[in-house]
Amino acid sequence: MDNNYKRVGVFGGAFNPPHNGHVAAADTAIRSLSLDKLLVIPTGSSPHKTLADGSPNGFHRYKMTQLAFSNMEKVEVLDIELNRSGPSYTSDTLKEITRMYPLAELFLVVGADMFLTVQDWHCPEVIFRLSTLCALCRESGQLDDLIDHKDYLMEKFNAKSIILENEAIELSSTEIRNKVRICVDSDLVPPKVLEYILENNLYIKRDDTYPKLAEVKNIDDFQNVVGEVTYQKALSHIPPSRKAHVEGCVSEAIRLANHWGYDPQRAATAALFHDITKSHNLEEQLNLCRKYGIIPRTVDKVSFPTLHAITGAAAARELYGVDKGVESAIRYHTTGKANMDRLEIILYLADYIEPTRNFRGAAEVRYFAYKDLDFAMMIALKNTIEEVCRSCRHLSPDTVEAYNFYLSQCIRKPY
Ligand SMILES: [Fe+2]
Ligand SMILES: [Fe+2]
């Protein structure tokens, strides 16, 4: 980092998603203010407005912002607000940047609407002391209001401000969120951002991902879809004492799937078969491994409950012809793993929180499973690791990797 820069701009925003209007505004700011550097900073938890429902987490917004500005060499995208807990106050950000660039003059680039309310932000005097405000004027009709406000800020707060006439395209992130999924060749966002959005399935309206084959709202609907014979056959592998758990898991998987816009039929299928080899002892598990050509790792043999997930996945495939996704969800329902797909997460959590579960921590995970899947996974994995260690049992490396992964997902989010 060259901290001898003389003129450094600061441009914050939710960047949800970053669009061509932001890129044009950044370009205007760099040229008009002769900046040596423009720091682009996605907000963590904005005190001004909360993110729309279903918005990507801070990590994705940070990645998209990096891609959006990747062709502008004077731009650097910083994750300082995403890494800070509590509300993302601009005054705190400016203090941090002052420490990073002690010799620089700072220019805070804001949209016209924000400029008109800046005196009401948290610690405005700090903002005025540490930076010169630069209001981006997008419409000529706004100009008079902005000039009046500039005079008011100078008179009342001795605050320096500049008005930048920005020919930027009039774009709103809300409009783009609604359009981006249907305008694949859209010119609203930089191509790399669009590619990232599509690759990561961001901004999908619920129900877009997987077409539902049939309405499955509860366990009775599911029984009708799979048929009584298959349903009872699957349950015949389960000892009577565990049937309530499996049926609870099916119901919970349907609820979670419907809540998160996933196909409930697939989720319920994974739940129905997830424990079909659970009642087998170690010797029987090892026989199943031989039968299905599985070579278990030593750790899978010593952390014995793990084996039923491995053999159960193979048995569900061989006996019932479940697809690869369902097989994988069953395979990892006990240990978890890093970067699980939606079905794997739904089964893992359904198994953990279904209504008969009442162990320590289940209620907390149950609450978060309907609010934030990454956070629910992190808590469930943490509880599992604590419990395994407390009872001096072996821990699968898959669980450790899963915990590290979901912890990383969560610490990028503001809580
Ligand atoms: Fe299980
Ligand atoms: Fe289970």
The CATH number linked to 361 is 1.10.3210.10
The Cα–Cα gap between 353 and 369 comes to: 8
Phi and psi of 73, rounded to 5°?
A: -70, -20
Beta-bridge partner residues of 372: none
What pLDDT, on a 0 to 100 scale, did the predictor assign at position 269? Answer: 94
- 334 domain-assigned: yes
For residue 308 the two structure tokens come to 């039923």
The Cα–Cα gap between 290 and 113 comes to: 68
Residues with CB under 5 A from ligand 1 (ion): 275
Q: Are residues 282 and 407 in the same domain?
A: yes
Residue 84 region by backbone torsions, left for phi larger than 0, else alpha for psi between -120 and 50, else beta: beta
- 387 domain-assigned: yes
Beta-bridge partner residues of 109: 11, 134
What pLDDT, on a 0 to 100 scale, did the predictor assign at position 174? Answer: 66
- 208 domain-assigned: no
Q: Are residues 364 and 246 in the same domain?
A: yes
What pLDDT, on a 0 to 100 scale, did the predictor assign at position 83? Answer: 83
What pLDDT, on a 0 to 100 scale, did the predictor assign at position 171? Answer: 59
- 17 domain-assigned: yes
- Residue 135 gets which letter from DSSP? E
Q: Looking at this protein, which amino acid is placed at residue 105?
A: E
Q: Are residues 52 and 171 in the same domain?
A: yes
Spacing, Cα 279 to ligand 2 middle (Å): 11
Q: Are residues 392 and 248 in the same domain?
A: yes
Crossing angle of helices 305-320 and 264-273, in 10° steps, is 120
Spacing, Cα 237 to ligand 2 middle (Å): 13
Spacing, Cα 45 to ligand 2 middle (Å): 37
The residue among 37, 12, 31, 34 whose CA lies nearest residue 22 is 12
Q: Are residues 250 and 339 in the same domain?
A: yes
Q: Are residues 242 and 288 in the same domain?
A: yes
Q: Are residues 19 and 80 in the same domain?
A: yes
Output the DSSP codes for 12-80.
EE--SS--HHHHHHHHHHHHHTT-SEEEEEE-SS-SS-PPPTTPPPHHHHHHHHHHHTTT-TTEEE--T
- The range of the structural domain enclosing residue 359 comes to 219-411
Q: Which of 199, 234, 255 is the last residue of a domain?
A: 199
Q: Which of 166, 199, 232 is the last residue of a domain?
A: 199
User: For the whole model, what pTM was predicted?
Assistant: 0.52
Spacing, Cα 413 to ligand 2 middle (Å): 30
- 84 domain-assigned: yes
Q: How many domains does the chain have?
A: 2
CATH of the domain at 111: 3.40.50.620
How does pLDDT run along the chain (415 residues), one tens digit per residue?
556 789 999 999 999 889 888 999 999 999 999 999 999 999 887 766 777 766 788 888 999 999 999 999 999 999 999 888 778 899 999 999 999 999 999 999 998 888 999 999 999 999 999 999 999 887 767 788 899 999 999 999 999 999 988 765 555 666 666 555 433 335 678 888 877 877 777 776 544 443 344 578 999 999 888 888 889 889 999 999 999 999 999 999 999 999 998 889 999 999 999 999 999 999 999 999 999 999 999 989 888 789 999 999 999 999 888 889 999 999 999 999 999 999 999 999 999 999 999 888 899 999 999 999 999 999 999 999 999 999 999 999 999 999 999 999 888 765 4
Spacing, Cα 245 to ligand 2 middle (Å): 7
Q: Which of 146, 165, 199 is the last residue of a domain?
A: 199
Q: Are residues 193 and 300 in the same domain?
A: no
Q: Are residues 159 and 252 in the same domain?
A: no
What pLDDT, on a 0 to 100 scale, did the predictor assign at position 365? Answer: 95
- 62 domain-assigned: yes
Q: Are residues 62 and 195 in the same domain?
A: yes
The Cα–Cα gap between 338 and 221 comes to: 32
| Closest ligand by atom to 248 CA | 2
What pLDDT, on a 0 to 100 scale, did the predictor assign at position 208? Answer: 41
DSSP-derived 3-state class of residue 108: strand
Q: Are residues 226 and 191 in the same domain?
A: no
What pLDDT, on a 0 to 100 scale, did the predictor assign at position 172? Answer: 64
The Cα–Cα gap between 230 and 320 comes to: 9
- Residue 222 gets which letter from DSSP? H
- 210 domain-assigned: no
What pLDDT, on a 0 to 100 scale, did the predictor assign at position 191? Answer: 81
- 207 domain-assigned: no
Q: Are residues 194 and 258 in the same domain?
A: no
Crossing angle of helices 219-226 and 228-235, in 10° steps, is 110
